[in-house]
Amino acid sequence: MAMAGLKVGIEVRASTGAVAATMATLPWMSPERIALDDERSLLLLATSFGEADEACAYAERRVRKSADGLGLDLAVLSSEAFPLVIDLREQIALD
């Protein structure tokens, strides 16, 4: 179940295995991975924060803490927060 707040996209430089291992430690954030190239990925993480700065700081902190705790070589390159996408088809079905 995803949290109700902002989603954060975090660009990381790490191997696919390191990204997968880090994501496995963050199930409550509903992690999704988008491969950007051989070395970079975009992690999408759900947060409960409504403010972009807080959401990004929390998500970055959790990713770094997980990677460090596992001894993984993972670098956070950037992050950006955005609202959760609302599926309007569900609204139409209710009307």
What digits encode the pLDDT tens for the residues 33-91? Answer: 999 999 999 999 999 999 999 999 999 999 999 999 999 999 999 999 988 666 666 55
pLDDT at position 93, please? 52
Residue 62: what pLDDT?
98
- Cβ-contact 23, 43 below 8 angstroms: yes
Please give the tally of structural domains in the chain. 1
Does residue 68 form part of some domain?
yes
Rounded Cα distance between 22 and 18, Å, is 6
Q: Is the dihedral of CA 78, 10, 90, 1 positive or negative?
A: negative
Strand partners, 11: 42, 78
Structural domain span for residue 63: 6-94
Place of tokens 């179940």: 1
Whichever domain contains 36, its CATH number is 3.30.70.3400
CB atoms under 10 Å from CB of 93, counted, come to 8
- In a domain, residue 69? The reply is yes
pTM higher than the cut 0.75:
yes
**Per-residue pLDDT reduced to its tens digit, 4-43:** 689 999 999 999 999 999 999 999 999 999 999 999 999 9
pLDDT of residue 1: 41
Question: Does residue 1 fall inside a structural domain?
Answer: no
